[in-house]
Amino acid sequence: MRVLLAGGAGYVGTHTAIALIEAGHEAVLLDDLSNTSAEVTARIESITGKAAPLASGSAASVADVERVFDEFGPFDSIMHFAAKKAVGESVEKPLDYYRNNLGSTFALLEVGIARGIRSFIFSSTGTVYSDPADLPFGEGATRNLVELSNPYSKSKLMNEVVLSDVQRVNPELNITLLRYFNPVGAHESGLVGEDPKGIPNNLMPYVARVAVGGLSEISVYGTDYDTPDGTGQRDYIHVVDLADGHVAALEKAEPGLKAYNLGTGNPVSVLELISSFEKAVGRELPKKMAPRRAGDLAATYCDPAVAERELGWKAARTIDDMTRDVWNWQSRNPRGYDG
């Protein structure tokens, strides 16, 4: 199948492009390059032996999406990765998050449906679940927009509502909501990985930058949560496992709307992740304890059983695999794709 990956030059999109190509599909990337580099296309080709064409443009622009269809279409499916994703930043910049995260969905749907796509695979998030009493979160867990703690999560849940309504009036269309948890890791080759612009907003790339000397110390935000070591717990999933989940969703797609959790089901604390990374690096990293950040929750982790049962997919890699592969990527590319 021929797949348009909106936001496809980003972290998850790049790894998914590799997985798609290795599974025999064709991948075309649309990205505004605001948080990645065009260098990823050469590295995808180096790994797979095949090109993934890159169109520079905004997924929130109908004109840019139409241009990609004109130049590279037709497409069987759209995978939508084109979202701003930092929880803390979304609290400070809610309009930016709603404008981009909703507007990109509108443009991709408008053009995609008009041009005859058969499936639309949406990168949702485990943070759409709003009641910690539901842990581990199953697909039917509580989702209450008012109770969600930040605009990032709210924008994702709003998109799920939009997609449900769109599928209802387009019954021939498959829409798959992939609620994944905390992607980390990198491709085992060390050629592609997470390379956020500026100071990273997420924990793993921040730890990696500290390890290569790009940042001075790790800030551990919140040490008084109701968790075994007092730090927040997350369900970290290797990005390669996550990419394989997208391929499974594409190949199993049938008309209708389905939601799947993509995670390991195993919560890992901030201090446990740092300890694993220190083991990969072979030394202790400088860190300081800091107050909680606005919008953060004590714990989020899922029950991934539905994805295993219906998609035949299960995460295979451990937290030590994840930190090892991040260190392999970051140590080989201390300045990311810039060298």
CB atoms within 10 A of CB 200: 19
Q: For this structure, is 152 an active site residue?
A: yes
- Residue 27 CA to chain centroid, in angstroms? 17
List the one residue out of 182, 83, 167 whose CA is nearest residue 137: 182
Catalytic site residue from 152, 180, 206, 260: 152
Contact 111/62 with Cβ under 8 angstroms?
Answer: yes
Give rounded-to-5 percent helix, strand, coil for the chain: 45, 20, 40
List the one residue out of 117, 83, 88, 118 whose CA is nearest residue 103: 83
- Residue 107 CA to chain centroid, in angstroms? 20
Ramachandran angles phi, psi of 142, nearest 5°? -60, 135
Q: What's the CA gap between 232 and 263, in Å, rounded?
A: 16
Q: What angle do CA 106, 1, 124 make, to 5 degrees?
A: 40
Residues 6+ apart with CB under 8 A from 333: 190, 193, 195, 339
Strand partners, 3: 27, 77
Packing angle, helices 11-22 and 40-48, rounded to 10: 30
Positions annotated as catalytic residues are: 152
